[in-house]
Each structure stands twice: as C-alpha cells, then as structure tokens.
Structure 1
Amino acid sequence: MACPENMFFLIGLFMSGVLVCFGRDLIVTMPDRLDGLTGSCVQIPCSFDVPEQHKDTFKSTILPSGVWIKGNPYFGGRPDRVIFNSSKLVNTYQGKITGNMSQKNCTTVFFNVTTNYTDKYYFRIESQPFRATDPDKSVEIDVRDLPSSPIITVSGEVKEGVPVSLNCSAVAPCPEHPPELTWTLRTQFTTGNQLQKNPNQTKSVLSMVTFTPSYLHHEQNITCTAVYPVGTSNKTTEHNMMLNVSFSPKNTSASISPADPVLVGSCVNLTCSSTANPPVTNFTWFKISEGKTTMVASGLSYTLNVTVGNGGLYYCEGRNSHGCGKSNEVQLAIKGQEETVNTMASGIAAGTLGALLLISLISLFVWRRNPRLHDGLERTDNSQGQNSPVGTVCANQATAGEEPEKPAVDQPEEIHYGEIDFSKRQTKETPAAAQDRVQGQESEYAEVNVTGRGAQEPPLNNLDGLYAQVNKTGGC
C-alpha cells in the first residue's frame, strides 16, 4: 500500500510483510470512554468510513473482517495485542460484531468482562485487498466490580406550587441486561424505565418523576436506585439528592419581650421570625388600634420605649421574591391600663345586672298591685259553666251584707270585685226557686267603682245610687 507523496516523514514497520504508513486510511467513530461491570457485557458503538482515495479498494473487498487491538494500535511483534478478530472462531476475548460491516457498522459486544479488560482499544479492518487501522481514535473501557451511580437532573427551577420533573439516568453498558430504576419519592406521576440512545451512541436507562413541590419538600432527600442484573445476582447503586424548593415565607411568627405588662418608659423588643427560600429580605411591623392597621417599623426586630399610646396589638410580615407571610398578633400591655379596663368592665357588668334586677322588681310590684291582671281573668274563667260558688276574693274587697272599709285619702282609685247572692233579697222562697237553689246556686258578679274618698259608703245590699255593672252568668 503506497503512502501519500506529500507526507513529510514516514515511519514504517513491516507488519505481516506489509509496509504500514501512519496516515488515517480508516476513520473510526466511537465513544471516548465506556464503563463496564464485572460479569456483565460491554457494547462498543462503532462505525467507520474510508477516505476517498481508498473507497474503490474497500468496495472490492469481500466480507471485511473487524479486529480489536488492545493498548496500542501497532501490534508488530506483539500479536497478543490483537484480542479479537471476527474472522476467527477462537479469540482472547469472547465477543461479537453485531453491526453490518458492509454498511460500515462495527458495533461490537464483549461478554463476561473482568477488571483485566480495563484499557484502550483500537479498531482495524483486515481484508484483501484493504487493510487499515485508525491510530487516532480509541475507546477506553473501565471495568469495575460495582456499577456507576445513576445521575439525577432537574428540568427547571423547583418552585412551590409549580409542577417539576426529575430525571434519573443510569448507563446501560450491556443493553441486553439494562438496569432497573426506582425512586424513594412516591408519586403517581412516575414514568417506567426507558432504554434510550445517547448522543455518543451508548445506551442508558431513563426514569422520570413529575410532582408539584411544596415547602415541605425543601431540603428533603430523594434517592434514585439502579439495580443491575449480573448473572444470577444483582448489583445495586444509588444517587441521593437534596431538593432545593423555592417558596414564600411560611410559619411567620411575632414575639414580644417581656411578654408581661410593662411600665411606661420601659424598653420592649418585638422580634419577627419566618421560614423562606430564598430567605426573607424585608420585615415590616404593623399596629392595630381602634380597628385601624398602621405600619410602624421595618426590620427583623422592633425596639421601643413604651409610652401610654404604645399599648395594643402588633404583628409582622416577612417578604421575599416569591411572596409574603403574616404573623400572629401579640399584645403589648401597659401596667395600669389593664386595671382601668377591668374596672370599667366590672362596673358595666354590675350596672347591667342592677338594672335588670330593678326592672324585675318593678314588674313584680306592678303585677302585685294590679290584681286584675291575674285574679280577674282567673275568676272569669272559673265562672263559665260552673255551679260551685267562688270561694276567694281580693283582700280589700267587702263581702255581701257587710260595710266596706274606707279607702285611704291618698290611695289611688281602685276597682273592686264582689260576689252578690240575689237569693238573699227575696222575702219568700217559692218551691221552684228552692228547687233551683238545690240544683245549683246562681251567682252574679258586679264591678263596683268606688268614687267617694273619705266618705261613708252604702252597704252592698242597698243598690240605690250604686254604680254597678252586673254580669249575669248561668242564664241569669
């Protein structure tokens, strides 16, 4: 094989009786590095191209063979460096070219690798009449007893209330036996394991979890675990990541020191605290007085010398770039004011109770002084359709046939009720009347209006000059 005439120097070695020139007669594309796992397989993505001046030679090649050289592309005098040749049945490394060489695909798989496989590897084509090696391109294979840890990535900022996706990827050096990925963050929005091709043609497994974070997720550890099947056992590795969630101020609280009532002129310190990410950049203090809210200060703490007008309710607000949070209300009490307030409250309560008691007594007195409210209605109800005589009258009412007492000079006009038995006015009782009396004595009620004050009143049995209204019941 002739070398280009424009090359400034030529280093040649007789390899298998052929002079090899150190030009790029073959252009190979493959990853710079691969990770392997002891006992598993390693797949090397590989493709090649032939320079224009050698394409005709390559086309005439029948059934090109692929060769892998370990450590150094120049194997003259070191045939042990050739660890695999696809044209041979027995090789140092058990493997297989899975790509179609006629289509310039040299992808190769090595089986049951060990830590001794760790090294650089070069690819070569050996076929008549075309033979070439790419000395400028190699792949470094690193075989370990434990698998590489998966990688967790976040798509965008993790912000409270905004859905976010976390991706976990793990290399799959042996695509025939890819790893299985699981999350410690439990959510129903988790995708299954997907085998995907990377830009360098290697394979990896991807799992994605989507959730809506809250401030409770901040600084929470999440883990993605990769389980690799190796023969009849498994090898496990994991990756931990602490979530950094941005959120508005939470658990904002205000405190006052001293908390007990203080004297005028004392020094009082109010302190505000809040949890936020990023931290709170602005604290503001407010006072509530007579139903109005007024901003009184700014800063993490608020110190004041107490005056009479400082008493009242206070609260604070914390704010960052994501929002604000309001604290609880704290009471600044001043000694002397609370006794006044308590005294006023006690006086109002006592006055109200006294007023209610006085109204009750007045109502009872009026009710007792006006017996018509309760006695008159009761006697009227008792007389309806009853044959028994009325046995009770008012205390100041005269009975029939007796002279009533004289009313007091200043006593107000009263209405008296009396029971008058007209059977006593009859001089002779007829048999029919006697029979009626036996069946039931009839009673008549009269309403007597006593108009004279301080004068002798006529007896009830003298009806001349007496203003009376007689209400006859029972058919009388």
Structure 2
Amino acid sequence: MACPENMLFLIVLFISGVLACFGQRDLITTMPDRLDVLTGSCVQIPCSFDIPHQIKYTFNSTILTSGVWIKGNPYFGERPDRVIFNSSKLVNRYQGEITGNMSQKNCTTVFFNVTTNYTNKYFFRIESQPFRATDTEKSVNIVVSDLPSSPILPVSGEVKEGTPVSLNCFAVTPCPEHPPELTWTLPTQFTTENQLQENPDQTKSVLSTVTFTPSYLHHEKNITCTAVYPVGTSNKTAEHNMMLNVSFSPKDTSASISPADPVSVGSCVSLTCSSTANPPVTNFTWFKISEGQEEPVNPKVFEIVGKTLGLIFLFSLIVFFAWRRRTSRLPSGFDMTDRSQGLVGMNSPVGTVCSNQATVSRGNQEPPLNNLDGL
C-alpha cells in the first residue's frame, strides 16, 4: 500500500493533468510584455504570481519556494539548458537574484551585466513541496541593445504666448538601481523637477517636468530632452527633440505704399500691410489719420475719392473756359472806357473796369453851360 505522501503526490499530478486537459493554468504570472535593456546594465523584471482556486490547497506558502526562469521555451524536460536561473542554486547561467518575497507571491527578479544574447522571451516557474508549476501562457520579452531608447516627450494642450506651460519627459528605467539623468535644453529660462515613478505594468521610469513661459520669439524653436544612462564607468546618451508651436497675437505689423514717390490726384497707389502671427492674420483693417484721430477707412474709399476729385477737376475746367469766353465778348451798345485818370492819386492798384455809360446822338444839342457867357 502506498504511503499517504505518495498518494497525495499522485493526486496532485492527476488533478494537474485533468486541469491541463481543460486549459486550466496551474500558475498565473503577471509581468510586463516587453523590457528594453541596455548592454552592460541590469534589468529588473516586475513579477507576481497566483494559483487558481481549484488547486490552491496544494501550495503551502510557509514552505520555501524556489523561483525558476526558463529561456525561449517553457518545456525544458529534454533541454535543461533552457533553465537560466534557479533561486535554490548558488551557480546559475545568468547572474541575478529574486528581490521579491516569494511567500507573498512576489517573484520580482534582477539580472546583472546583461549582454545582447539575453534577447529572448522568458517564462517563470515555481518549485515547492509538493507543488511545481510553470506558466506556459505568459512570458516577458527582453530586448537588449547597445544604445538606449529615446526619451518620450509628449505635448498636450495649446502652448500660448505669455501663459506658463509644463512639459513632461519620460525615460524608461530597466535598471532602477542606476536610473538615467534627464536634462533639458530650452531657448528660455526654466525650472525642472525629476522623480522616479512606477508605471501601470510595474516597470520604472524617470519623469522630468520643465516649466517655462513661452513668447512669440520661441515659436518654431527646438526643445531637447536628454537622457544619460550610467553603464559601468561610462555613460550612454539618448535625446528627443521637439519644435515648439506657440500661439501668439500679431507682431511686427508694418504698412508700405507703392509707388513711394508723391503721386498725382486721381492716380492709383497700392497699400500693403504685413504682420507676423500664429495662427496667421486673416483680416486687416485700414485707418486714416485725421487731425490726430484714427478713422477706419475702407480700401474702396481711395478709389471713390480719386474719381470724385477727377470729376471736380474736369468740371472746374469747363466752368473756367465758359467764363473766359463770356467775358471776352460784351453785348451790343456797351463800350470799354479808360477811367484811369480819375483814379490817379488813390491807394488802389490800377485796373480796368467795365463802363455802362452810353453816348446818345441828338439833332439839336444844347451847348455846354460854361459857354453861356458868350451869348
């Protein structure tokens, strides 16, 4: 007759086999889908696990539990070299340690001095008495490269002239023991604040916030967020550039006239107004300066005034020539008489005037009175 311990072990194997046939996972792990790692640095894998309710009674958290990491394929029966780390062993293919508390189902693990051949997907397994299980449906993909990933510099909302604005820059931190340092390059004065934060998938990143007040002079100027990663005795750098799009009111407004030389009445001139703004100016209003006051003027007024002055000038010429023609000919029965002698000695300029005195011919004209003395 088999001993109770062997019977329990057989029962566990039977239950596990039955559940596996129905797609039941013996172990459910939670970890990121992907981690981007820098050559020569470390990588921290956030990890936690749980056991389905149906077989929880087979797992005893008070018993020492080992954590095992398997590379590439979770089935290692015929390929024991796929096991790259076992926390119960002193020597492993990968140098690392489980920093989480396994009794609290925390399997967070750190691997040191990663190289490019670490790039692969990894599965997690727990081993205790009498429970052993591997989560074959969940893995983390580790990607190792020689250059760090560029920081993320998202822009939200509108950047307006004169309004303080804050920008955030994120840098992935696969090795929290050696986080990157974030610095900014801006065309104006600014303040920064950096902090290490946890992401929803429990990975870490460094957040840097810069605050400044933009002006129209900063429009289309570059902002740079630089991440410096310490790796051994050297540093590796990545940066993200962004061009500012600042909304501002019209600036540098000016007007010009063509032709610039004095022009005659009735001729056409072209007035041009230019201004810098974001968004661009779509409507201009003209003003006429009159006696120290500004009056809004419609551009068509210039055309109307020119035509009006031209008509007045033409009408004046017609009136002038009509007057000259009329004064050059007098009506019949009138003479022009020079009476300048009667004006000698007066303080008025000498001129000619029109006389309306007429000479009448009579048959018997009386003699002048001053000749009566001879009668």
TMscore range, shorter length: 0.7 to 0.9
Q: Please, what TM-score do these two structures have when normalized by structure 1?
A: 0.59
The verdict on how the C-alpha distance between 1:305 and 1:78 changes in structure 2, with shifts beyond 3 A counting, is farther
Residue 181 in structure 1 maps to residue 177 in structure 2:
no
* Structure 1 residue 110: Cα displacement: 0.7
* Structure 1 residue 156: Cα displacement: 2.9
1:54 and 1:219 map into 2 onto residues whose CA distance is: 62
The verdict on how the C-alpha distance between 1:262 and 1:107 changes in structure 2, with shifts beyond 3 A counting, is same
Question: Residues 86-165 of structure 1: matches in 2 within 5 Å?
Answer: 86-165=87-166
Residue 2 in structure 1 maps to residue 1 in structure 2:
no
Q: State which drifts further: 48-57 or 234-243.
A: 48-57
Q: Which has the higher contact order (CA 8 A, sep 6+)?
A: 2
Q: Provide the residue aligned with 2:306 in structure 1.
A: 307
* Structure 1 residue 256: Cα displacement: 1.3
* Structure 1 residue 302: Cα displacement: 10
1:140 and 1:273 map into 2 onto residues whose CA distance is: 57
Q: Provide the residue aligned with 2:260 in structure 1.
A: 259
Q: What CA deviation, in whole Å up to 9, does each residue of 1:81-118 have, x standing for no partner?
A: 11111111111111111000000100001100011111
Q: What CA deviation, in whole Å up to 9, does each residue of 1:264-303 have, x standing for no partner?
A: 33221111111111111222222223444333337xx998
Residue pair 2:187, 2:218 contacting (<8 A) in 1 also = no
Q: Provide the residue aligned with 1:213 in structure 2.
A: 214
1:5 and 1:32 map into 2 onto residues whose CA distance is: 28
Give the letter for the 2:91 counterpart.
V
Q: State which drifts further: 203-212 or 189-198.
A: 189-198
Q: Provide the residue aligned with 1:342 in structure 2.
A: none
2:138 and 2:188 map into 1 onto residues whose CA distance is: 45
Q: State which drifts further: 150-159 or 239-248.
A: 150-159
The verdict on how the C-alpha distance between 1:261 and 1:97 changes in structure 2, with shifts beyond 3 A counting, is same
Question: Residues 246-325 of structure 1: matches in 2 within 5 Å?
Answer: 246-297=247-298, 304=303, 307=306
Residue pair 1:270, 1:302 contacting (<8 A) in 2 also = no
Q: Provide the residue aligned with 2:53 in structure 1.
A: 52
2:102 and 2:128 map into 1 onto residues whose CA distance is: 11
* Structure 1 residue 308: Cα displacement: 7.8
Give the letter for the 1:197 counterpart.
E
* Structure 1 residue 186: Cα displacement: 6.6
Residue pair 1:267, 1:305 contacting (<8 A) in 2 also = no
Residue pair 1:46, 1:105 contacting (<8 A) in 2 also = yes
Q: What CA deviation, in whole Å up to 9, does each residue of 1:109-151 have, x standing for no partner?
A: 1100011111111111122211111122111111100000111
2:308 and 2:184 map into 1 onto residues whose CA distance is: 59
1:295 and 1:188 map into 2 onto residues whose CA distance is: 41
Residue pair 1:253, 1:272 contacting (<8 A) in 2 also = yes
Question: Residues 439-450 of structure 1: matches in 2 within 5 Å?
Answer: none
Give the letter for the 2:306 counterpart.
T
* Structure 1 residue 79: Cα displacement: 1.4
Specify the SS of the correspondent of 1:90. coil
The verdict on how the C-alpha distance between 1:272 and 1:187 changes in structure 2, with shifts beyond 3 A counting, is closer
* Structure 1 residue 23: Cα displacement: 2.8
Q: Which structure has the bigger radius of gyration?
A: 1
Identity %: 80
Q: Provide the residue aligned with 2:226 in structure 1.
A: 225
1:99 and 1:209 map into 2 onto residues whose CA distance is: 34
Residue pair 2:187, 2:223 contacting (<8 A) in 1 also = no
Specify the SS of the correspondent of 1:102. helix
The verdict on how the C-alpha distance between 1:120 and 1:287 changes in structure 2, with shifts beyond 3 A counting, is same
Unaligned runs of 5+ in 2: 1-12, 310-375
1:194 and 1:169 map into 2 onto residues whose CA distance is: 10
Give the letter for the 2:47 counterpart.
C
Q: Please, what TM-score do these two structures have when normalized by structure 2?
A: 0.74
* Structure 1 residue 5: Cα displacement: 9.1
Deviating runs (4+, > 4 A) in structure 1? Answer: 3-7, 186-189, 301-306
CA RMSD of aligned residues (A): 2.4
* Structure 1 residue 154: Cα displacement: 3.3
Specify the SS of the correspondent of 2:192. coil
Q: Provide the residue aligned with 1:429 in structure 2.
A: none
Give the letter for the 2:88 counterpart.
S
2:90 and 2:42 map into 1 onto residues whose CA distance is: 19
Residue 34 in structure 1 maps to residue 27 in structure 2:
no
Residue pair 1:61, 1:128 contacting (<8 A) in 2 also = no
Residue pair 1:181, 1:224 contacting (<8 A) in 2 also = yes
1:166 and 1:23 map into 2 onto residues whose CA distance is: 46
Give the letter for the 2:192 counterpart.
T
Q: Provide the residue aligned with 1:236 in structure 2.
A: 237
The verdict on how the C-alpha distance between 1:118 and 1:60 changes in structure 2, with shifts beyond 3 A counting, is closer
Unaligned runs of 5+ in 1: 11-20, 311-476
The verdict on how the C-alpha distance between 1:171 and 1:264 changes in structure 2, with shifts beyond 3 A counting, is same
